[in-house]
Amino acid sequence: MYPNNSSQKSCIFMGNLSLGTLFFLRLENAFLLAEKGSFIEVISCFGNLENDLKMWCAFKGEAFIHKVAIAKNSNKDNFLYLLQKQSPKRFQKFDANSHIAPFGHGLAPNGVLVESASPHYPFTYMNDNELYNGNFTQIYEDSKKSQWNASNDIKWKDIPSFSPAMEFAIAQIMTYLTENEFSALYIPARFLGQISPFFTTAPLLLSSIIGDEARHIEAFIKRANVTGLGVQYSTIATQQSLFSLFKETNYFKSSFLLHIMGEGTFIDLLKFLEESFEGLGDSASAELFYLARRDESRHVAYGMNNVKHTIAENPAKIATLKEVVFERKNYLNAQSGESSLLLESLALLRGGGEEFISRGYEEVLELKKKMEKNRTKRLVECGIDEELAYDLSRAHTPNFM
């Protein structure tokens, strides 16, 4: 009758707590967490609880075993009421290493015990094949160490003023960057709510990416404002390119387009801008691009690991990527070409003024070649063969993201 194994037994010391809400709340909780068949000792100063406890047990489907007087405490006896849990356990333990998120896991973190009949959330991503998490923790840790504040960490007051043509070019580039950053913010944000928190590090990492993008948006708008012009023109070329990215509803494809093709290319662009501002003697802006690039490198590393792992597990996935790149290319070919405003602004900035715009334009063309080459390199690193990587890279949007 009585367990030999002490793990099958728990004890609640009620002392002089009289029968009432708190007494029954504690009793309920003891039964809630106990295993079926385990014993629960209720220790009380009162010797007259037997009938009430018997009624409670009968009502709850539990068993009252016996009552005994135990050791003297001052001048009073203590009483031990022995009860046994007969109802099934209501908390379910899941395998924390499972590749599939359990239904009814809700918004709880990995490792919890979930009460049965908890609501089922309609998460789309319930399988870690779709969210390889090999490097989530490391990137999340790197992200925490590399946070910066767009208000205080950029020497805004040291930014020099330039000719009206140069100020416009800078404001236009910042406008373009801000739009692209919004795309990099909205896409992971949309997927975030579709991922089960059973894969706890995934939503944390996506949140850190979203936080980074918010900071980039803030910083680029601030830099546009320093020109005295504020944000300028949003072109159809950028709008269509970002829309074709935004409307992709599959996480794997979207992550590939955004983190590898888009942000990978952006790393080269941010480096180009960093050098250009350095060339203009504006080291405060150069620092801004360095910090933004450091954040983007983490996003690209996350995406590359994700895609690399998925391709290694299932090489047939390469066909999916090929399909999505060419679908997007066909869509964009029919819609729009390059953003001429962006290209002229980049050429003027890089040249260092209108008189050197031709030289600047040559360097923009060099940048595009470098972007294409680096994209190919990243694709090869993900496990795509060189020839296809080259074709995919060439088919990437002229908007860069």
Residues of the shown chain interacting with Fe ion in the complex, contacts defined by CB under 5 A = 181, 184, 213, 216, 263, 296, 299
Of the two residues 38 and 180, which places its CB atom closer to Fe ion in the complex?
Answer: 180
Count CB-CB contacts under 10 A for residue 48. 10
Work out how close the CB of 374 gets to Fe ion at its nearest, in angstroms, rounded to a whole number.
16
Closest CB 185 distance from Fe ion, rounded Å: 8
Instruction: For Fe ion, give the closer residue by CB, 269 or 367.
Output: 269
**Among positive and negative, which fits the CA dihedral 19, 21, 25, 28?**
positive
Minimal distance, residue 17 CB to Fe ion, in Å: 56
Closer to Fe ion by CB, 213 or 274: give it: 213
Give me the least distance between CB of 101 and Fe ion, in Å please. 26
Q: Which is nearer to Fe ion, 216 or 368 (CB)?
A: 216
Nearer to Fe ion, 184 or 257 (CB): 184
Please state the closest distance from residue 99 (CB atom) to Fe ion, in A.
27
For the CB of residue 83, give the shortest distance to Fe ion in the complex, in Å: 57
Nearer to Fe ion, 130 or 181 (CB): 181
Q: What are phi and psi of 42, to 5 degrees?
A: -110, 120
Closest separation in Å from C-beta 213 to Fe ion:
5
Report the nearest approach of Fe ion to the CB of residue 272 (Å): 15
The whole-angstrom separation of Cα 278 and Cα 280 is: 5
Least distance between Fe ion and beta carbon 174 (Å) = 13
Q: Give 299 or 375: the residue with its C-beta nearer to Fe ion.
A: 299
Nearer to Fe ion, 42 or 292 (CB): 292
Q: Is the CB of 210 or the CB of 343 nearer to Fe ion?
A: 210
